Amino acid sequence: MDIITSKDNPRIRECIRLSTQKKARNNSGMFVLEGVKLLEEAVLSRIDIESVYITRECLESGKSELAVLEQLDRKVIEVAEAAAARLFQAKTPQGVCAVCHIPQREPDFGKKGRYLALWDVQNPGNVGTMIRTADALGFDGVILSEGCCDLYNLKTLRAAMGSIFRMPLLVTDMESFVRQNDNRLTFFASVVDADAPGITATEFPEGSVMMIGNEGNGLSDEQVSVCGNRVTIPMTGRAESFNAAMAATILMWEMSRKKNMERK
């Protein structure tokens, strides 16, 4: 196994750029993941891995997830302490990261499934959690506006727990996307408005898209109007509103529950 000792090694510097700079990721089509669990998820999801950097300590930790390293063979490179100290971005690094190719796996909209759409959702934890929930509920794809936070920053990856590797994803100009697809997909704008149709009473046709807006402002009137349909969570309690990820969870759950009831 090769070993890198210098913190100024060009491979280390390139890896840090990919970890921390969206521009570097966009230019190269590569991203970096950190942590043993995410590495395992990437291998299981057949993500194309370019190289793995790992500390001796992590290698010898005997974590079961590290069994995937055997499949990666010569791509695994040991990093000595000085290089490692600079390489990892997590607060408490696990001692392993991997440079990977960004997967190109767009949703199949002809399938007429259930889709989640995020319009300028900016918190990486929210975006990651929403993709994880969409994955858990068997959604067929997630569409993100160009104003959303980057999918491949370390916080989004961590919150999504591998779902970004499995879920078909499309980053696009949302307004054009909706306008171009309003014949074959039905868009539901989630709003906080007691007068909007309630989620439990709403029927979702095949090819429905649940649109979630920015955490602070929700969807603008214009964005709602582009979507055409509105839907809200009836609030029986006292909190001013759910947080964005909680609301998205309930909305997606209701879409899934109805789909499952139809099947029975």
Q: Footprint of its own copies on residues 207-236 (CB under 8 A)?
A: 234-236
DSSP conformational letter for 214? B
8 Å CB contact between 130 and 121? yes
Q: Footprint of its own copies on residues 27-46 (CB under 8 A)?
A: none
Select the residue interacting with its own copies from 23, 74, 203, 239 (CB under 8 A). 239
242 lies in the binding site for its own copies (CB under 8 A): yes
Strands 114-118 and 141-145: parallel
- Specify the residue, 181 or 253, whose C-beta has the smaller distance to its own copies: 253
Going across the sheet that includes 49-54, the strands are 3-4, 76-79, 49-54, 96-101, 30-34
Which amino acid makes up residue 154? Answer: L
158 lies in the binding site for its own copies (CB under 8 A): no
163 lies in the binding site for its own copies (CB under 8 A): yes
CA separation (Å) from 8 to 16, 55, 58, 72, 78? 11, 16, 21, 25, 15
Select the residue interacting with its own copies from 9, 94, 129, 208 (CB under 8 A). 129
- Specify the residue, 198 or 228, whose C-beta has the smaller distance to its own copies: 198
Query: What is the contact surface with its own copies in residues (CB under 8 A)?
Result: 129, 132-139, 161-163, 166, 200, 234-243, 245-246, 249-250, 253, 256-257, 260-261
